Amino acid sequence: MRVKHALHRVVVTVLLLLLLPACSSQQTPSARPSSLAVARSAPTPVGETPIAPGKGQLAIGLWRWTSPELHRGQLSAWDAGDASGAHIYLRDGSSQREVISAKEPLYVAEWWPQDNGLLVWHWWGYCNSCNADGVRLAALKLDGRLTDLANVDTQAGGYSWSRSGHRLLIGTGGDRFVIFGDARVLICDFPEVSCSTLQAPPGELDLTPAWSPDDRFITFARGRAPEPELNINAAVAAWQDRLGLWIARADGTGQQLLDTPGGSYPTWSADGRSIYFVHAGRRWRHDLYTGDNTDTGQVTTGQPGRGWVNYSSGSNKP
């Protein structure tokens, strides 16, 4: 199904995408990110293959992640629920212990890349309508300390680890229609678990962030929310095609507007030379060095915020 058509549905299912420090000063937009391109060394061409999506991105609480690094894969974590509430357990060989318990649902999302903690979906109780407007993404250290990071709207972009595993981009949002949710991009540092908001002009919404393969830059979509219409789903679909695509340094500074026909869900090519994005239900490529925009001819499939439209940058996920 095309992305544009898929936006006509409200995301109420519990199968959310698993995917995204210092605040920056707004920079004057330019047609091409020349200063950023010059600051980056010339890439070694490795083809135009897009970054492959991470594994296990469609289920919450259904995956039993196993660490590839600690104890040669013997460390595992899982969630469970009973009459007393929600629980997350950790097993190391023959030893098992409870990491945390709560009255509201908790679901394991995945390991931090360094395996010293977990990302956890933290529901707003058992209120289906509340959770349809976004679910909290939380950082859980193995000593039981839980830190809520942000409310995540899947259409705002989910989250993405940097390749180093020390930083996390989060597309936040507090409404199922995105445009009412004050969508913002957070840049979080790990293992300290501290986050800052990517600075945006008043009234502008930031969505669908992604890391460059070398962790030096980020890209995201930005735009002013449209006026509410009777057919809100159609309004959101058209709005996402008009969003501007931006690039910035990893700390959010040096923000520059890319010269594209507009779109959303930007992702990087594996060589860091190009940015792919979704426009009018098709996949486009923007060359950061020449400024050329190319319609790849690929028709997008899956709902926004799912499948291929949010890639990791190759972090060592389990």
- Position 232 scores a pLDDT of 78
pLDDT of residue 301: 63
Confidence of residue 188 (pLDDT cuts 50, 70, 90): very high
What percent of the chain lies above the pLDDT cut of 90? 41
Tens of pLDDT, residue by residue over 54-67, are 333 322 232 333 44
The pLDDT value given to residue 178: 79
Confidence at residue 26, expressed as pLDDT on a 0 to 100 scale: 39
* pLDDT of 281: 84
304 pLDDT band, cuts 50/70/90, is very low
Rounded Cα–Cα distance for residues 280 and 241 (Å): 6
Report pLDDT for 14.
Answer: 31
- Under 8 Å CB-to-CB from 262, ≥6 apart: which residues? 241, 242, 243, 244, 245, 279
Residue 187: pLDDT band (50, 70, 90) is very high
Q: What is the pLDDT of residue 300?
A: 75
pLDDT of residue 141: 95
Tell me which residue of 250, 14, 20, 312 sits closest to 150, measured CA to CA.
20
Q: Can you list the alpha helix ranges (DSSP code H) found in the chain?
A: 3-6, 34-39, 128-132, 232-242
pLDDT tens column, 137-184: 999 999 999 999 999 876 677 888 999 999 999 999 878 777 888 899
pLDDT band (50, 70, 90) for residue 239: confident
Instruction: Report pLDDT for 290.
Output: 95
pLDDT in tens, 1-42: 333 333 333 333 333 333 333 333 333 333 333 334 323 333
Q: Which two tokens stand for residue 208?
A: 């669908």
> Residues 195-238: pLDDT tens digits?
999 999 999 999 989 999 999 999 999 999 887 777 777 777 78
Q: What's the chain's average pLDDT?
A: 74
What is the C-alpha radius of gyration for the chain, rounded to an integer number of angstroms?
A: 19
> Residue 16 is encoded by which pair of tokens?
């959310």
Is the C-alpha dihedral spanning 234, 210, 44, 244 positive or negative? positive
Collapsing DSSP to helix, strand or coil, 19 comes out as coil
Q: Is the peptide bond before 29 cis (omega within 30 degrees of 0)?
A: no
Facing residues of 175 across strands?
Answer: none
- Per-residue pLDDT band for 50 (boundaries 50, 70, 90) equals very low
CB 124 within 8 A of CB 131: yes
